[in-house]
Structure 1
Amino acid sequence: MQIAIIGADERTPALKRCLMESGIGIIEITEQNIRRLMQSQIIVLPLRALEEDGRIRGSRVKIGMVLSYAAERSVIYGGCFPEVLTRRPSGRRIRLVDYMEDEVFRNENAGLTAEGCLVEAMTKSRCCVKGRNCLVAGFGYCGRAMAKLLLSLEAEVTVYDIKEDCQRVAMEMGCSLWQENAEEQNFEWIFYMADKPCPIDTVLKWCDEKTYLWDITTGGGLPAEELEEKGIHVEHLTAVPGRILTESAGIILARIIERGAADYGRV
């Protein structure tokens, strides 16, 4: 079986190597050979697939060209597809598969995000994890992975999340909870992983100028400029697995493709 790969990011070298070691052939698509898409039933794009102008990340090929030349019943893997694209009808039954909708991938990617953040934390602070007083804000996939990793290394972990089911899971894991009406408590490390922005009044209850804050949200959930004015620095970390753990990040993408190829009935 041959798989078409378009574009590239930090994960791509490991992704390609893993696929080839599994016996899957790869066609690298450019503007010059885009007609070769017709030879592949599976098309692989980067995790953050598209630039703002519609180009595939790391390529000059646009998504419109991909949809035009893709074979009937093709499966296109990528991430962060705009909603308008996922709703676009296709008479040739072309299917878009978002990596982030795969439960296994989301858990593995969250684990890599937590490990990458911890590397950053220890490097920046020059401190070990044991005994560190930490706050994890947001208790989704990445927040849970972060808390679990910190607990395993004997950190003191407090979780902030307004959802009751998340609070229950956090307590079952052995975390403390931070409540909206709580008194000020200066944490040493804060990992902000919530899916909504946080007001500065809340953040100021968590930290002082000695606190290390890492904002792991895509758009930035912490009011960084306002905090900087008060002497509190925020480090904005994005695409953590792809920047820090590129080998492992590429391998977990390859696993999705391998499963998809097997389900397609061609390997």
Structure 2
Amino acid sequence: MLTGKHLVFIGGDARQLEVIAQVIENDASATLIGFSDMHRTFTDTEHGELSEATLSQADALVLPIAGMDNDGRVDTQFAASPVTLTEEHFRALRPGTFVFTGIARQTLSDWCQAHSLRLVKLMELDEVAISNSIPTAEGAIAIAMKETEITLHGARVVVLGFGRCGQTLAHKLRAMGASVSVCARSAADLARVDEMSLAAVEMKDIESVVATADIVFNTIPALILTAAVLKEMSHDCVIIDIASKPGGTDFRYAERRGLKALLAPSLPGLVAPKTAGRIIAQSVSRILALETDGLHGEEDIWS
């Protein structure tokens, strides 16, 4: 339970609404900033203005999964314009206050460190990232089914990367009857791919494996599908890039070559915001409850 805890939420998408609902259910109270156009009501919440006074009362600041840009901007689907934070706002937070975000860019990390705030990068926690990979994989598969004229059963599919999303995606594609090849760099990942009875391909051989693919899923947040690689691919191949922006595909060259290449980040917020929000809320609540109960065994989850 979060009795007595007060959280300040700034911006976000539909996932954030579920996080709010869950922490209120756990007996916390909340101030909402950047939610003026929200058509949903919650008990024990209030809409507030961004001010140092508001932030000074917070036990935790909850930012969206996309976090804060380096210029302080926090995007929101529930107001006409984004919310802009400054270092003064972080200075107003009490030392030791939790700052929850999905990802943290350099400015956010620097400001939290400068003012002794406990920054929790939720998407770096296994408990969040592994669970979040399920709606990500389902969303990517849904796009593949919509954008191709073939069944996934029997399709020649390549998954680039074997992190949390890559593993879940490869597993689900194989269960649907696809012929799945996985490109990865580390020997350990390639061994696990082989153990799962999938085709393990070293990254240096990417050009040969994508040349015969019907669908390529990229999960690597770095330029991996370069012009040289794209040149080897069939014009009928569909690329679904689920890595964080800007993705890992040379989209300019893909368009020039007539390849269908789709950038689809943040799929959980689009295809399953309620599930994704509950995953986030569970971790936020667990971490705050540990603090309430005086347990300090997990300091490595924040920086």
TM-score w.r.t. structure 1 length? 0.89
Residue 258 of structure 1: aligned partner: 285
Report the Cα distance in structure 2 between the residues aligned to 1:108 and 1:52, rounded to whole angstroms: 28
| Cα displacement string for residues 96-128 of structure 1 (whole angstroms, at most 9, x for unaligned residues) | 111122121111122221111111111222544
Amino acid at match of 1:40: A
The within-5 A match list for 1:211-226 is: 211-217=237-243, 218-226=245-253
Question: Which consecutive unaligned segments of at least 5 residues does structure 1 have?
Answer: none
Aligned length: 266
Match of 1:110 among 116, 119, 133: 133
Residue 230 of structure 1: aligned partner: 257
More displaced 10-residue stretch of structure 1: 67-76 or 83-92: 83-92
Distance 1:85 1:3, change over 3 A: closer
Match of 2:60 among 42, 63, 75: 42
Residue 144 of structure 1: aligned partner: 167
Report the Cα distance in structure 1 between the residues aligned to 2:267 and 2:222, rounded to whole angstroms: 19
| Cα displacement string for residues 158-214 of structure 1 (whole angstroms, at most 9, x for unaligned residues) | 011232221111111111123545746421111011233123333343x31111111
- State yes or no: 1:16 paired with 2:20: yes
- State yes or no: 1:190 paired with 2:216: yes
Residues 111 and 145, structure 1, Cα contact 8 Å, conserved in 2: yes
Q: Secondary structure at the match of 1:247?
A: helix
Q: Over aligned residues, Cα RMSD in angstroms? A: 2.4
Offset of 1:78 from its aligned partner?
A: 1.0
The within-5 A match list for 1:79-228 is: 79-88=102-111, 93-125=116-148, 127-179=150-202, 180-181=204-205, 183=208, 185-198=211-224, 199-205=226-232, 207-217=233-243, 218-228=245-255
Q: Secondary structure at the match of 2:229?
A: helix
More displaced 10-residue stretch of structure 1: 251-260 or 11-20: 11-20
Match of 2:72 among 54, 61, 76: 54
Distance 1:103 1:183, change over 3 A: closer
Report the Cα distance in structure 2 between the residues aligned to 1:66 and 1:146, rounded to whole angstroms: 40
Report the Cα distance in structure 2 between the residues aligned to 1:103 and 1:237, rounded to whole angstroms: 22
TM-score w.r.t. structure 2 length? 0.79
Question: Which consecutive unaligned segments of at least 5 residues does structure 2 have?
Answer: 34-47, 77-81, 295-303
Q: Identity, % of aligned pairs?
A: 22
- State yes or no: 1:248 paired with 2:249: no
Report the Cα distance in structure 2 between the residues aligned to 1:157 and 1:117, rounded to whole angstroms: 15
4+ aligned runs moved over 3 Å, structure 1: 29-34, 87-93, 178-185
| Cα displacement string for residues 120-146 of structure 1 (whole angstroms, at most 9, x for unaligned residues) | 111222544322221001112211111
Offset of 1:151 from its aligned partner?
A: 1.4
Q: Secondary structure at the match of 1:71?
A: coil
Residues 240 and 261, structure 2, Cα contact 8 Å, conserved in 1: yes
Residues 224 and 233, structure 1, Cα contact 8 Å, conserved in 2: no
Residues 137 and 190, structure 1, Cα contact 8 Å, conserved in 2: yes
Report the Cα distance in structure 1 between the residues aligned to 2:231 and 2:219, rounded to whole angstroms: 17
- State yes or no: 1:5 paired with 2:9: yes
Amino acid at match of 2:290: D
Amino acid at match of 2:276: A
Report the Cα distance in structure 2 between the residues aligned to 1:63 and 1:104, rounded to whole angstroms: 30
Offset of 1:85 from its aligned partner?
A: 3.6
Residues 100 and 121, structure 2, Cα contact 8 Å, conserved in 1: yes
Residues 31 and 61, structure 1, Cα contact 8 Å, conserved in 2: no
Amino acid at match of 1:15: V
Offset of 1:31 from its aligned partner?
A: 3.2
Report the Cα distance in structure 2 between the residues aligned to 1:266 and 1:45, rounded to whole angstroms: 24
